[in-house]
Structure 1
Amino acid sequence: MLLATIIEVRLTNSPVGPAFAAFWYQEVGFTVGDAAFRMSLQHWINDAPLRIFFLVVGLEIKRELTIGHLASWRSATLPIAAAVGGMVAPALLFLLVILSGSWSQGWGVPMATDTAFAIALLVAMGPCVPVELRIFLTATAIVDDIGINVVMASFYSGDIHVVYLLAALAILECFSLLNWSRIYVLTPYLLLGIVLWALVYAGGLHATLAGVVLALFIPTRPPANLAALMTQANTIIMAEAQHEGQTLRHNASAPALRALDAIHDRIESPADRLLRRAGARSSYLVLPLFALANAGVAISIDVLSGHEWLMAAIIVGLVVGKPVGILLAASLAVWVGIAVKPTEYSWRQLAGAGAMAGIGFTMSLFIAGQAFLGASDFSAAKIAVFAASIISALVGTILLWGAPSAAAAYTGVQDTRMQGT
């Protein structure tokens, strides 16, 4: 994503910039009789391939809610509170700077956290960051994703067409029927997901919402009886071993391979299988393609002129609102007694993670594209998101680098007390 962003910005500010921009805005589509379905190439990327990204996000949300860090109320309370604070505070600060006018509709831009960049930076810092802090930020980002999707569906969609949305509800009923029938084959879900995407788009809601909804209906399975499956596999392999010396029998037979494939399918649920396959495509293809199509901005005085307050609102929202909102909400939840902060990381480290949450690249750009239809407004918003993300990354790194863990701080306090005694 970072490489794609650098390439896009460099090309946009080169002599081929106008031709490169025109390439993304050319219309692509198809015609069936009198009906035509056409969108710009950039629009196709933002609605179709990016649906894979939202499908992965939905699968991660489902995993966290079922078996992950949001599965129990006690473990989920702290990141839920932090995520809510990290969404509300940036939006309020944005509106505090932009009191009224057309720019005020961009209050959703600083609400989003780019999970990929934020977690990648925490991992890159190695032992400076406790594993528990990474878990906290991941869970917080998942809740943030849920909130951002609700915000997009509610406030950044087009004109609502009830007929298409009713048809989309019928597709949801089909999903429920497939789940009730315990259909574990992915193909019918994916085919219906394509139909759902088209209906949601035609209905006026943002079509990427269909990816999250589809993910929530992808079935999981009860835990497999590993001992029984292992016994079956051993029986199949031992039976095949008896034919080892036969002529023209150098590999397992087709029935044995099908039986072993069935055992593997029983171990891995459809949701896990799809997440494993789609996750890499989302990270290494879809998100860089999105950055390549959307990150381009002509950096000039003309873009900055007249947009100072808009840029300030976005930067303040991400750089200040995110960490302050996360820290205050988490502190309040612990003080009230509905959440417990793990002892493995300190409040300073939690504040550093909150600063990292101010990296709002992907979703901030996405919402900015929906909120600011004017080219100059969108360009200024993109520059502000870039600047805020860089500042947030630097502030988060400074807070986390060399920060003593909560356990080390506790040991130091105990040692001081012993020396005083």
Structure 2
Amino acid sequence: MGLRDIPGDGGDGAGWRPGGMEGHPRRRGCGNPEGRGCGGTPGPAGWFRGRRRFPGGSGSSPWPEQGEGSWGCVSASRYRGWHWDWHWHWEWDWDWDWRAEPVRVGSSDPRWASLCRCVMPSTAMKKKVLLMGKSGSGKTSMRSIIFANYIARDTRRLGATIDVEHSHVRFLGNLVLNLWDCGGQDTFMENYFTSQRDNIFRNVEVLIYVFDVESRELEKDMHYYQSCLEAILQNSPDAKIFCLVHKMDLVQEDQRDLIFKEREEDLKRLSRPLECVCFRTSIWDETLYKAWSSIVYQLIPNVQQLEMNLRNFAQIIEADEVLLFERATFLVISHYQCKEQRDVHRFEKISNIIKQFKLSCSKLAASFQSMEVRNSNFAAFIDIFTSNTYVMVVMSDPSIPSAATLINIRNARKHFEKLERVDGPKHSLLMR
């Protein structure tokens, strides 16, 4: 990979160019062919940014392919907040002055030691997910948008589901969602609770019950929901329960909070002794992605390990925010942020916008791979991360060269691939 010279961050005129190991930049003006420190000061091979080094001794590299003593190109900065505007542009809010600092990425960093430890299960795990609700409530439409790359307006041509439709969706390599989309006609619903009861409700990990917020048969909806809960309590008492109050776009905006709160209280009361989590959803905005991201999050194995690795990765490269998306659905799997942001719905908006952009690319026989948004205040990168994920990195110091952040992302891929790999039960990611 050849990197063009990029202006440096200080008054020393320093920039970047390939050097040291193949494909990695070194400081301009370094006479050492191994890419060691500038100004006659020896330093480890590799690359870094800024005029001073992060203190620390030599050691094995956190990126095994780079060899010993590699340096990471990162900067320290923090921004006040950012959010996505639905009108397809970015809005940012700034009131801080920041400067870049280099950070040593090496085994001497305790954050990296913790990042590199993770135990993965030995076999693929299938999770049974029931998608239930009255006919016409919108179950198949939302499933098609999330998992089959439909756009909202195209769901109008979908017909009613007959009996049960099965689909298998692979997440993060070793997680397979066994999705049961159950038709909601009265005849089918009655069969689910009688002749098919054991088959339908056995070994369920998640029950998702969809309510049409404008249904004229609310009492019947509640009756069927209670029947589902009774069957779940008998056959899968540990299942997680989610209720989606759907088609909220049909409710007047000033009434949505009140109506949803009332419905949520009723559902939680009816669900006892089981607990349910309620979401308001619509296929026409980001609420659908918020709900499904939260549901899938509950099913991801070792999600705490993944979050720890993502947090440590973000801290090492000193990113302000890092998001991990599932590659096919663009659901948010995990994220790290250094501070609270004012737009709490920004993740779902990103998912929705990028998913729509991916679909537009596919119509042109092209594939979406990466995106960079940069101005004088920030830089945001969306790039392929592992075989099952995309990553978004937000840096609040725009003076950092794009090449540096992209190399950091590229170098982290191997470690996050290992988090998804199906290996023996005793396999762990340890520093070598």
**TM-score calculated relative to the size of structure 2:** 0.20
Instruction: Tell me: higher relative CO, structure 1 or 2? Use CA pairs within 8 A at least 6 residues apart.
Output: 1
The structure that is strand-richer by fraction is 2
The structure that is helix-richer by fraction is 1
**TM-score calculated relative to the size of structure 1:** 0.21
